Chain A
Amino acid sequence: MNRPVYLDYAATTPVDPRVAAAMAQCLGLEGEFGNPGSASHDYGAAAHALVETARAQVAACAGASPDEVVWTSGATEANNLAIFGVAHYYREQGRHIVTARTEHKAVLDPCRELERRGWRVTYLTPDSAGLIHPDQVAAALRADTVLTSIMHVNNETGVVQDISAIAAVCAQHGGARLHVDAAQSIGKSALDFAALGADLMSLSAHKVYGPKGAGALLVSRRARGAPVHLTALQFGGGQERGLRAGTVATHQVVGMGLAFELARTAPPSESDRIAVMRERLWKGLAALGGTYRNGDPAHSVPHVLSVSFEGVEGESLLAAVRGRLAVSTGSACNSTSREPSYVLRALGRDPILSESSLRFGLGRFTGEGDIDTAIAVVAEAVSRLRRLSGLPG
């Protein structure tokens, strides 16, 4: 039985076989299963060495120093550590945060929680292309702003923000540290933590052919001539410089390190190939008529295509392609809810079109045949659903 064509790489990716093999080497008796914190014997030392190699790999891929990498369980934890960590550490300096309406829930929900605890949050609205402009950030910064959190690559639209310019605005302000959710960035868009000037950056392994359950927070030690301080969220062992207590999962971080290394050394032609396929997909879908591309393609990574379909209901569209095509409506985290995408609503799409969108995520294993199948399956589903509601198919 054929499995559905997988075009949900923005939700997650399969683990690269080379990554899986490296991870497996850290699990059994014959491998490096030791506790990386057990420096007193060879088992611990060997695991520690692997963890530090992985740390260097992640740092090299993201343009950071190894001592700026703090392991987490994923980007969600990294976002929480960054936002709560800064908010609490600098609470005497101020209790105001700036972010955007199009952020992932892993940023928005911590901000909402801080609001319940007395912080104030300004939510910026992007333009219709999905872009947050630096002058919007500048206008939102206040004397008591301690943090700005803006994502690099949007998970629904693929739109890439001008982090460097936003970082410059924050640096000029002085007190507003910049956190960047870069969960979707690695392997898709050039990323240089140091050059961008961000203070904190969240990373994820499973978006780039690494394992789920592994991520990192980059904590700048140099951006403003001094380290960024965070209040830790968990305690009990002092690992990761006291910022993230708990035994480091050697196999997970080894997997993340190798996945990032593979992303760093991947030929540029890989992105070019995916960009060509994305345009092929868009042209095929646009031929249906009544289709709207979400986000500015000129400012987007090549791996994501978000399309709204006039005259169809989103849940039915997803159900109509099931079994043949694996895509999502909006972010994976929203796929169980059927609310119109808040990201597309923030871009100005009307509720019906926001609700009738599909996000196509292309990846390393996507082939032209997959794209052609996707076009055919979606075309059939859209035509059928339009006819069901009395519209021309």
Chain B
Amino acid sequence: MNYSELTLRYFDTAVGVGVLTGLDVYRGSAGSRAQGAWVQFDVQVNAGLVQAARFLAFGCPHTIAVSAWVAEQGVGPVSTAALPCSVQELSDRFAVPVEKRGRLLIVEDAWVAAVAGALQR
């Protein structure tokens, strides 16, 4: 399978992989290994600001690359439980094949679950 340069860069470097701990850390996950994709985000949120984000992911290179990108780009002010950009934009940015769009929804669900936890605090 051919991957975009951006996909390979984030897949290879996987910046932001890991977990966070602390009272101000919120965790969200979605998918399952049996489904072929599982993603977990930890976000450290204070005063409406995502100060740090980490991810773990099991899945295809697109799943890993997009998760890494979201963990990187998601740092900053947060007011709603939403991805830094839409799933469609992620799909375009990473040249995700249409049959894999469902994997991006798993990334979105995991991120939204983590951030929503923080916002509902």
Contact = CB atoms under 8 A, between A and B. Distances in A.
Interface of A: 311-313, 315-316, 319-320, 336, 338, 351-352, 355, 384, 387-390
Contact of B57 (A352, A355, A388): A388
B1 A313 contact: no
A352 B34 contact: yes
B104 interface: no
Contacts of B3: 319
B11 interface: yes
B17 A315 contact: no
Interface size class for chain B? Answer: 20 to 34
A319 B34 contact: no
Contact of A388 (B33, B34, B56): B56
Contacts of B40: 390
Contact of A389 (B11, B57, B60): B57
Interface in B71-90: none
18 contacts: A312-B58, A313-B36, A313-B58, A315-B1, A315-B61, A316-B11, A319-B3, A320-B11, A338-B1, A351-B34, A352-B33, A352-B36, A355-B36, A388-B58, A388-B64, A389-B33, A389-B58, A390-B40
B60 A316 contact: yes
A387 B17 contact: yes
B36 A388 contact: no
Interface string B14-51: 10010100000000000001101110100000000000
Given A336-B1, A388-B64, A319 B57 contact: no
A320 B19 CA distance: 22
B59 interface: yes
A320 B8 CA distance: 9
A116 to B, nearest CB: 25
A388 B60 contact: no
Contact of B59 (A316, A384, A390): A316
Nearest to B67: A388
Nearest to B17: A388
A387 B37 CA distance: 15
Contacts of B38: 389
Contacts of B56: 388-390
Contacts of A384: 14
Nearest to B60: A315
Contacts of B61: 315-316, 319
Contacts of B1: 315, 319, 336, 338
A313 B59 contact: yes
B5 to A, nearest CB: 13
Contacts of B8: 319
A259 B54 CA distance: 55
A110 to B, nearest CB: 26
A355 B8 CA distance: 21
B98 to A, nearest CB: 14
A390 B14 CA distance: 13
Nearest to B19: A390
B55 to A, nearest CB: 9
Given A313-B58, A319-B3, A388-B17, 14 more contacts: A313-B37, A313-B59, A316-B61, A316-B64, A319-B1, A319-B8, A351-B34, A352-B33, A352-B34, A387-B17, A388-B14, A388-B56, A390-B40, A390-B56
